[in-house]
Amino acid sequence: MDTVAVIGAGMVGSTTAQRIAERELADVILVDIVEGMPQGKALDLRQAAPILGYDVDVVGTNDYADIEEASLVIITAGVPRKPGMSREELVSVNSGIVRDVCEKIAEHAPDALVMVVTNPLDVMVYAANQYLGFGRHRVFGMGGELDAARFAYFVAERVGCSYSDVSAMVVGGHGAKMVPLPRYTTVRGIPLSRLLDSKDIEELVRRTIEGGAEIVSLLKTGSAYYAPSAAITHMAEAIIMDRGSVVCSSVMLDGEYGVKGSCTGVPVVLGACGIEEIIELELEDEELSKVQEAAAEVVRLSASV
């Protein structure tokens, strides 16, 4: 059985631990700085096992030495945004947390793959790549897969089809610089433009870009965690089962999409070795320049840290 370490046992981290355990994907180590909290949540999750019938270990700890068995480390540690706040406003506080976490990963799990979830996502993926130096195939972000799920949900709701009939594609930043791609979004292979008019499609794109903020403003405290943990678990499964799944992930680009030395969301092949391939879509000029703008903003925001 693989071991996955989830750093940050808050809403996203603990829901991720629950999903991984319930799918029996891996043993889970839940790490947090708050004493007792990860231990309590892990105990609670273990006590659900006799009812739900899963047979994995879930351990809570405040000690990073306990992550040494982990082949995948998922970073959810950080502060979530408040209503009216952009993800970018979290840069300085969360980059300090991610730096601290990366130092511990480098010390205790130097061979692990690292999935970054902390926002602002692309800036944190960039920072984690700098701090860890593991190589870009081993350090990547979960953002686009969540955005694609949101886009797919909105499309299915509008078209009136099953959610699982929609295949959606979202590239660019995990935030205002997000680039949902209707041209690459289909309902069982049927192009979206055959099913909805352009005004409807534009509205769904707008709602997708605002998808996280809509939830933040409804919740009043904290941000989304059910769909984020579902997207994380989907990516963790691709790695643990070596599926070679095509997912949207934030990665360090090295010339792809005309971007070098910055991180943004693109489709990739994800398997046991991490990012196995970066897929270069044929984009129209406007789409490509939005992706490049998203990547340029990551470098700008990172310089302010």
Binding residues: 8-13, 32, 81, 87, 94, 117-119, 150
Minimum CB–partner distance for residue 7 and ligand APR (Å): 5
Whichever of 36 and 255 has its CB closer to ligand APR, that residue is 36
Residue with tokens 């959810």: 76
Q: How many CB atoms lie within 10 A of CB 99?
A: 15
CA 136 to chain centre: 15
Binding residues for ligand APR, how many (CB under 6 A)? 27
Q: Is position 174 annotated as part of the catalytic site?
A: yes
Instruction: Pick the binder of ligand APR from 6, 97, 171, 291 (CB under 6 A).
Output: 97
Of 108, 137, 174, 234, catalytic: 174
Interface with ligand APR includes 94 (CB under 6 A)?
A: yes
Q: Are strands 113-116 and 72-75 parallel, antiparallel or unpaired?
A: parallel
Interface with ligand APR includes 18 (CB under 6 A)?
A: no
Q: Which residues contact 55 (CB under 8 A, 6 or more apart)?
A: 24, 49
Q: At what angle do helices 211-219 and 144-159 cross, to 10 degrees?
A: 90
**Cβ distance 61 to 70 under 8 Å?**
no
Residue with tokens 């949900």: 153
Q: What are residue 266's DSSP bridge partners?
A: 249
Structure tokens at 267: 């489709």
Interface with ligand APR includes 10 (CB under 6 A)?
A: yes
Interface with ligand APR includes 12 (CB under 6 A)?
A: yes
Interface with ligand APR includes 126 (CB under 6 A)?
A: no
Whichever of 118 and 292 has its CB closer to ligand APR, that residue is 118
Is the bond into 120 cis (omega within 30 degrees of 0)?
yes
How far is residue 152's CA from residue 47's CA, in Å, rounded to a whole number?
34
Interface with ligand APR includes 146 (CB under 6 A)?
A: no
How far is residue 200's CA from residue 245's CA, in Å, rounded to a whole number?
30
Stretch that binds ligand APR, among 93-101, 149-157, 181-189, 262-270 (CB under 6 A): 93-101
Stretch that binds ligand APR, among 70-78, 108-116, 256-264, 286-294 (CB under 6 A): 70-78
Interface with ligand APR includes 173 (CB under 6 A)?
A: no
Minimum CB–partner distance for residue 94 and ligand APR (Å): 6
Where is 268: in which H helix or E strand?
A: strand 260-271
Minimum CB–partner distance for residue 36 and ligand APR (Å): 11
Catalytically active residues, by annotation: 174
- Interacting residue ranges for ligand APR, rule: CB under 6 A: 7-13, 31-34, 76-78, 80-81, 94, 97, 100-101, 117-119, 222-223, 225, 228
